[in-house]
Amino acid sequence: MKVAVIGTGYVGLVVGACLAETGNDVICADVSEEKISQLRAGTIPIYEPGLKSLVLRNLEQRRLRFTTDVGLAVEASDVVFIAVGTPPDEDGSADLQQVLEVASTIGDHMNGPKVVITKSTVPVGTAERVRSAIAERTRERFHVCSNPEFLKEGAAVDDFMKPDRVVVGVDSPEAAEVVGELYAPFVRTGNPLLFMDIPSAEMTKYAANAMLATRISFMNQIAELCEEVGADVMLVRKGIGSDSRIGPAFLFPGPGYGGSCFPKDVKALVRAGEDHGVSLGVLQAVEAANARQKRRLFEKLRAALDGDMRGRTIAVWGLAFKAETDDMRESPAVDLIEALLEAGAAVRAHDPQATASARALFGERIDYAEHAYDSLAGADALVIVTEWLEFRNPDFGRIKAALRQPLIVDGRNLYDPAKMAALGFTYLGIGRGARP
């Protein structure tokens, strides 16, 4: 099948590479000449495990091409995915400017029947706006579908190749047949390909992310209460996660959720509720709880250092909002570092992949360590923000010898408190018994 993917960010690039891997002829288009030049040369502008080899292999086999000519990509394809960004507007709603610009371009270059699929995360009603924008510029027959993505950064390739489910909102049996053929290689093991009306598909994406964000904020608030009453949230997590009605996923307490999806999608859903006269108080509480949670690592650290941060040096392990990505959008590390700098502390940080992203944010306001242990010498404390595998079983003797005092604030609960106490550390996790 001949496929165009408009937008080469996290979603578009993964979609294009994975569809090419299953034999489709794919053109990925983007208006950024720099990005397209990099991709043509086999340089991947984002870090995503498994993506580089997928892109290189399909470039070599000529199943995958890159262009800045969006119109050419549309004309050469039977199926067109819209995968451009939908950043939050000032009021929290999704900014659809790029989506609608692409729709207009599609209309200008319709040279035959096509299936247009919105892959970007968009509010209910967007597909109809896309349909109108295309119809204003063409008399060719076309279908519009909604196919929300459920890709986790750090596991996006696996999520696309082996999806839990594929959700598709369609406007006709003909469109369903085309999309079903396209996705058939990915659902051979029996995971569902769910066809539904377009508004339901659009709502499903927001509802899914809002539910996951809710679980995170709920568990973070339970963790805070655990500290007050002397309970261990990790044991509580196991206790409630064993209930089949609840399950264990997304019940890990931490420094707050971040990334490109949860913060933006929760805000957009709250705004959509306001626009339609529906109060989503639960999600407003989720947002407020997450904002508070992003301050907790700093507050724990400041309390442990007797409220005196001026002149302190703090080592930070982890800058990306989660492991296996270089994405720092809405990362809890950003809130922590800004609070430390404002309080007069110096920051020495290490992340396996996100140093370039951090430099773009902080410039030379913080120091960057090439290796994790390089960040520790003479530091007053170590704060762990991201759960990279290399942080899970470190040399604690080396850490203790390098730090000015053996203080670790662990935002991911990577270590056993009893073991840390036996090693002579002051160890502060999230919800791990009584607070100091």
Residue 422's pLDDT is what?
97
pTM as predicted = 0.91
Residue 31's pLDDT is what?
94
Q: Domains (ranges, CATH) in the chain?
A: 2-196 (3.40.50.720), 197-436 (3.40.50.720)
Q: How many CB atoms lie within 10 A of CB 225?
A: 12
DSSP secondary structure letters along 381-407: EEEE-S--GGGSS--HHHHHHHSSS-E
348: left (phi over 0), alpha (psi -120 to 50) or beta: beta
Residue 260's pLDDT is what?
87
DSSP annotation of 374 reads G
- Report the chain (436 residues): mean pLDDT per 10 consecutive residues: 96 97 97 95 92 96 97 97 87 87 97 96 93 96 96 94 96 96 94 96 95 98 96 96 96 95 93 94 97 97 95 98 96 98 98 97 97 97 98 98 97 96 97 68
DSSP annotation of 409 reads E
Residue 50's pLDDT is what?
95
Residues acting as catalytic residues? 261
Q: Which residue type is seen at 254?
A: G
pLDDT in tens, 292-339: 999 999 999 999 999 999 999 999 999 999 999 999 999 999 999 999
Residue 89's pLDDT is what?
78
Residue 164's pLDDT is what?
93
- d(C-alpha 177, C-alpha 174), whole Å: 5
Residue 403's pLDDT is what?
98
Structure tokens at 26: 């794919």
Q: Is 297 within 8 Å of 411 (Cβ atoms)?
A: yes
Cite the beta strand spans of 177-221 per DSSP E.
193-196
Report the candidate in 18, 34, 47 with the shortest Cα–Cα distance to residue 354: 47
DSSP secondary structure letters along 225-286: HHHHHT-BHHHHHHHHHTSTTT-STT----S---SSSHHHHHHHHHHHHHHTT---HHHHHH
Please provide the distance, in angstroms rounded to a whole number, between the alpha carbons at the two ends of the chain: 61
Structure tokens at 264: 């933006």
